[in-house]
């Protein structure tokens, strides 16, 4: 009986240690992004530049493809994020835009950011996974497209 108790205690200790090790290799992401979009002309990507608050300090990106859907748009995107401590990650993303009824050119947006393997640097080197954002974008004018999103999630090594 004593050996069984020791074995159970050892197993529980290993499980707690493994869980702690996993938690130590993850970092929470969260904050707000104020984005501006720059159209570069027909057939060229739309460039994104954003100021961020929270765990990421700035971002740049591009919209590489757009598709019209029944409810709005889908966008293939790439983002380049950097943190205040020198870490950076590159993501490939899918943006789902849902038209706001009665507000032409305005959309609710949800983005899933997938960190690209081998594309993290500095303090975020080796991190991977995905995180999300949601918010609103105003795409009425090609010379004044903008958005506001809340991002959140966790990436891990």
| pLDDT tens readout for residues 21-57 | 555 699 999 999 999 999 988 888 999 999 999 999 9
Q: 70: domain range? A: 28-156
Higher pLDDT, 4 or 101: 101
In a domain, residue 17? The reply is no
CA gap 36, 33 in Å, rounded: 10
In a domain, residue 10? The reply is no
State the total domains in the chain. 1
Residue 154: partners with Cβ closer than 8 Å, 6 or more residues away: 26, 27, 28, 29, 129, 131
In a domain, residue 130? The reply is yes
CA gap 109, 120 in Å, rounded: 25
In a domain, residue 108? The reply is yes
CB atoms within 10 A of CB 84: 12
User: What is the number of helices (H) and of strands (E) in the chain?
Assistant: 1, 8
In a domain, residue 95? The reply is yes
CATH number at residue 121: 2.40.160
- Full-model pTM: 0.81
Tens digits of residue pLDDT in 89-143: 999 999 999 999 999 999 999 999 999 999 999 999 999 999 999 999 999 998 8
């Amino acid at each position: 009986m004593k050996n069984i108790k020791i074995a159970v205690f050892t197993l529980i200790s290993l499980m707690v240690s493994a869980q702690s090790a996993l938690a130590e290799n993850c970092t929470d992401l969260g904050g707000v992004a104020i984005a501006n979009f720059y159209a570069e002309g027909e057939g060229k990507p739309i460039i994104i530049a954003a100021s961020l608050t929270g765990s990421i300090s700035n971002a740049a990106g591009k919209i590489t493809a757009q598709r019209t859907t029944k409810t709005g748009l889908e966008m293939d995107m790439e983002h380049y994020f950097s943190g205040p401590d020198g870490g950076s990650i590159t993501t490939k993303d899918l943006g789902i835009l849902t038209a706001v009824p009665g507000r032409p050119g305005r959309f609710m947006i949800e983005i899933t950011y997938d960190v690209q393997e081998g594309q993290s640097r500095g303090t975020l080197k080796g991190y991977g996974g995905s995180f999300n954002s949601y918010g609103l974008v105003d795409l009425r004018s090609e010379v004044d497209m903008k958005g506001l999103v809340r991002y959140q999630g966790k990436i891990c090594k």
